[in-house]
């Protein structure tokens, strides 16, 4: 977009010869025309020519289409994405899922490194999960696999608004395989969705 403005410029006359003449110092008299005629003439030493100079200023900004696209994008974010940043349950659910996944994998590594069975127990009623050396479906025993962070029993309880989809109790053998020899799955429920953790049979792959 361009805006056109007019600006008047004046030059002093050094010679009475008028348009196209030479000054006494040898410099050519400046003259400007609007069409085929000079705008003005004058006496030596006085402003004789008036120049109508056009200047253009470029206004930068968004086009209408760009503004509409931006408004659509902001609207989609406002409806779908932005509310999730202010909902603590979303962060809690994801965090507890990551903790559960890490706990299952850690139990498998302990079983392999110590050549012993390690049980993973999840209780849906108490929303608690733990690692033990013996079956403890309710995570009621005071002892179990120590947490490497503090040395206490490795146990986690789901925060408010987050639950476990089902109770489960299984162990890893010294080879890292689940016992019984079958795939095991359970889920972490929160933020309107269920995030599932699965332990594959034979390989013990946790995902």
pLDDT digits (tens, 9 = 90+) for 15-35: 444 444 444 444 444 444 444
Predicted structure pTM score: 0.59
Kindly report the CATH number assigned to the domain that includes residue 166. 3.55.40.10
Answer whether residue 117 shows pLDDT above 50: yes
In this predicted model, what pLDDT tens digit does every residue of 27-82 receive, in sequence order?
Answer: 444 444 444 444 444 444 455 555 555 555 566 777 889 899 999 988 887 777 66
Indicate whether 73 belongs to any domain: no
The token duo for 193 is 């969705």
Residue 29 within a domain: yes
Name the one residue in this structure whose structure tokens are 């608004």: 161
66 belongs to a structural domain: no
Alpha helices in 34-153 (DSSP H): 64-76, 82-85, 88-114
């Amino acid at each position: 977009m361009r805006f056109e403005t007019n600006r008047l410029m004046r030059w002093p006359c050094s010679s009475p010869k008028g348009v196209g003449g030479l000054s006494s110092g040898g410099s050519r008299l400046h003259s400007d025309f609007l069409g085929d005629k000079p705008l003005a003439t004058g006496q030596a030493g006085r402003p004789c020519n008036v120049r109508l100079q056009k200047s253009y200023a470029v206004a930068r900004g968004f086009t209408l289409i760009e503004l509409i696209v931006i408004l659509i994008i902001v609207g989609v974010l406002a409806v779908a994405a932005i509310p999730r940043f202010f909902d603590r349950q979303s962060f809690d659910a994801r965090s507890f899922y990551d903790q559960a996944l890490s706990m299952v994998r850690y139990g498998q590594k302990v079983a392999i490194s110590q050549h012993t069975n390690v049980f993973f127990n999840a209780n849906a009623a108490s929303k608690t999960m733990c690692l033990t050396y013996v079956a403890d479906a309710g995570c009621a025993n005071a002892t179990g696999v120590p947490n490497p962070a503090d040395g206490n029993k490795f146990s986690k309880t789901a925060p408010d608004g987050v639950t476990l989809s089902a109770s489960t109790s299984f162990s890893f053998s010294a080879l890292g395989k689940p016992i019984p020899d079958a795939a095991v799955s359970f889920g972490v429920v929160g933020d309107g969705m269920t995030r599932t953790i699965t332990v594959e049979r034979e390989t013990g792959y946790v995902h």
